[in-house]
Amino acid sequence: SQTIHQWPATLVQPVGSPLSLECTVEGTSNPNLYWYRQAAGRGLQLLFYSVGIGQISSEVPQNLSASRPQDRQFILSSKKLLLSDSGFYLCAWSDSRNQPQHFGDGTRLSIL
Amino acid sequence: DQQVKQNSPSLSVQEGRISILNCDYTNSMFDYFLWYKKYPAEGPTFLISISSIKDKNEDGRFTVFLNKSAKHLSLHIVPSQPGDSAVYFCAARSSSNTGKLIFGQGTTLQVKP
């Protein structure tokens, strides 16, 4: 069966520090991969998606970037975190556009 | 521009009764709709979906209804159980090529014993 792993579960970082969140999927190949952010009291906002290795599409201009160095690995990064980057970050995968997306357990990021 | 809206931030229902969660959308090009359930500090879990060519889909206690003319969908939970207490998100597929989803803001359901 397919599983998705996201880490760390929680992270506290100072303003201006770098960020790297990792997401890996097991049990499938060539999945579509997604990064979402949920700000407090709001819905899920799509940040990036990828339909293949090295293929990244950005949905909103921001301080973050994403990379897909391997088929089942999706990384969310920042060179310098801002206070506004605080939130709950979720990685998701789907087998194809016709299948539901399945989410990891998320990373709670707090910027101090 | 909020293309998918859940206008009720919260809903409280007695155990055993029906829970009805509502969702409205604005983009007539959406062709696939989903409901997710989310517990605190966890990722959303897929519940049920419906294609735009249908008006109803049922899975156990969960039924999703789609009214395309009104651009409205709803999730019915019957009977409601305390374990159903969670945040429910509706989502719509915005791109047939990539499967991108647009999510509503969520509705917090509390089922009282």
Over 80: is that where the pLDDT of B77 sits?
yes
**CB contact set of B89 (below 8 Å; sequence gap of 6+):** A43, A44, B6, B35, B36, B37, B38, B44, B103, B104, B106
**Largest Cα span, chain A:** 40
- Confidence grade of residue B94 (pLDDT, cut at 50, 70, 90): confident
Can you give the length of chain A in residues? 112
Residues of B in contact with A36 (CB under 8 A): 103
Give B37-62 pLDDT, tens digit per residue.
999 888 999 999 999 999 999 999 99
Over 80: is that where the pLDDT of B98 sits?
no
For residue B59, the distance in angstroms to the closest alpha carbon of chain A comes to 15
Q: Between A44, A94, A105, which is nearest B99 by CB? A: A94
Are A43 and B100 inside 8 Å of each other by CB?
Answer: no
Three-state SS at B33? strand
For β-strands A107-111 and A10-13, DSSP reports them as parallel
Over 90: is that where the pLDDT of B6 sits?
yes
DSSP B55: S
Can you give the length of chain B in residues? 113
Cβ count near A19 (within 10 Å): 21
Give A26-67 pLDDT, tens digit per residue.
999 999 999 999 877 778 989 999 999 999 999 877 789 999
Mutation test of the interface with chain B: which of A91, A101, A105, choosing the one with the most B Cβ atoms within 10 A? A101
